[in-house]
Structure 1
């Protein structure tokens, strides 16, 4: 039975290597190179360890780590959806659920159920752990874009209000990190790398 489990686990480990090939729209800090999903997930995990003390609520850090490490694995099948894409919803899709069941389903059933459940909890975003994980997920690209003269905001002409509306989810997990992020957004307007439309 243990051998069967090991074979399934190794199969999953090989499959998730594909995450390294999924390119994101955002670029590395002070760089022209696009980030891939594996790099993004690793960075969120490190951010979780370093910034956990700023969570507004007590959190199970190990659970948050699991969330941020697996949250984009579904993109192996479903592809990356740009957060500012107006043609495709960034909320949980049927396509992503099918992907989660297939990829996590490579694991022994108990692990498959646990990771699927954690992924669904992240997507739902209502627990304290999911709120903090989502804070990390929104904070990292903000730091990247401000390091790259606007990055994807400039490249795709994303207006201030759209950025603000997407990023304010950070507040649900950490008011301290949101205060920092909000200042960065406003500074970006002052620097002219984020455009605030006036009616």
Structure 2
């Protein structure tokens, strides 16, 4: 029992590092970049508030919450890479798999296996839960960019075509949230937050 507790505590200390992983997205007030821990917490609340909009409303809420809480833990080792950064995407899958093995491997075997399975489920996006979690993971940066008048988009030369290509997958988890996302995108173009080319 002492060894089990030691492993759990070692994992909990390790994942505190997620608070230091900076994302490209700014806080909605534009004051600074968001960190991965803040992003995961915000997604967990989005799951709770927006479950009714999932394509499958009977989606397992607890499973989705767990998924969004663990989905970025691998970035402790692998770092946050923008979805629009082609060079940064090279080798990302291998880096993240190695990180998952190391970090989840700190836990007692069955807990580590559970978190690894949740992480893989999110990455594979085949279940209704993973599709909904991924939809929210894509919607969140849209909200941030809309609220900051396109701060990240403009800094990194992101265009309408890129945003549409990246975010159309929201529909796989929630048609309603994709409709909402398209409204945000349309308004962002109209207000000059997001360049068309």
**Class of the TM-score when normalised by the shorter of the 2 chains:** over 0.9
3-state secondary structure, aligned to 2:107: coil
CA drift of 1:195 comes to 1.1
Match for residue 167 of structure 2?
167
3-state secondary structure, aligned to 1:82: coil
Residues paired across the two proteins, number: 196
TM-score in terms of structure 1 length: 0.95
Unaligned 5+ runs, structure 1: none
3-state secondary structure, aligned to 1:31: coil
Structure 1 segments of 4 or more deviating over 3 A? none
Match for residue 36 of structure 2?
37
TM-score in terms of structure 2 length: 0.96
CA drift of 1:32 comes to 2.3
Partners of 1:160 and 1:32 in 2: CA distance: 24
Unaligned 5+ runs, structure 2: none
Partners of 1:92 and 1:80 in 2: CA distance: 10
CA drift of 1:18 comes to 0.3
Answer yes or no: is 1:114 the counterpart of 2:114. Answer: yes
CA drift of 1:92 comes to 5.8
Q: Contact (CA 8 Å) 1:91, 1:123: kept in 2 or not?
A: no
Q: Contact (CA 8 Å) 1:145, 1:153: kept in 2 or not?
A: yes
Match for residue 16 of structure 1?
15
